[in-house]
Amino acid sequence: MLELAAHILDIAENSVRAGATTVEIIINEDATSDLLSIEINDDGSGMTKEEIKKAGDPFYTTKKVRRVGLGIPLLTNAAQMAGGNLTLKSAKGKGTKLKATFQLGHLDRQPMGNITTTIISLIAGNSDVDFIYKHRHNDRRFTLDTREIRKEIDDVPINHPEVIKYIRGVIEEGLGKIKPAA
């Protein structure tokens, strides 16, 4: 994975596979402290202490279709290459909290990539899961919460093409307001 958005997609999909009904994705870019953090929190099935220890091993996975689980090891490596680290907290039946930190200006920090497409893919592909996306860039904040959108659209599925188009616009507008044009 060459972009952080791909890591976010992979980890959030793990949350969905673990039975999460709500996944929170928090991105915090702080130029003053030269810190980028990415948190992914879920209310899925969680992991035992032994599973947490094994999660960093690329040859361990709970998936039945592959014999390797590269998501967490690759994100850990990406964080360490950029002067950061990864922490993983979980409890069986209580969900999982993952946090990766990076030195924001580090030469080896992977680019964010297309976070809009990542969030849209998660929502469109997992219509029964609620996603809370929070993005902070210095002192500006943007939040998207599918629970709030569901209240507005009544019986229309959240993955309906017109709803997805609307959500994409909301994300693009929100990110445009918090981040300066490159």
At residue 67, the pLDDT reads 41
Tens-place pLDDT, residues 79-98: 999 999 999 999 999 999 99
Range of 152's domain? Answer: 4-178
Query: CA 59, CA 93: separation in Å to the nearest integer?
Result: 24
164-167's contacts with Cβ under 8 Å and 24+ in sequence apart are 164/120, 164/123, 164/124, 167/119, 167/120, 167/123
Report which of 34, 109, 113 is spatially closest to residue 79, judged by C-alpha positions: 109
- The model carries a pTM of 0.91
Confidence of residue 66 (pLDDT cuts 50, 70, 90): very low
Question: Rounded CA gap, 159 and 74, in Å?
Answer: 30
- Total domains in the chain come to 1
pLDDT at 87: 96
Give the per-residue SS3 of 110-149: CCCCCHHHHHHHHHHHCCCCEEEEEEEECCEEEEEEHHHH
Question: What CATH number does residue 48 fall under?
Answer: 3.30.565.10
Q: 182: pLDDT confidence band, cut at 50, 70 and 90?
A: low
pLDDT digits (tens, 9 = 90+) for 18-33: 999 999 999 999 999 9
Residue 9 has pLDDT above 50, yes or no: yes
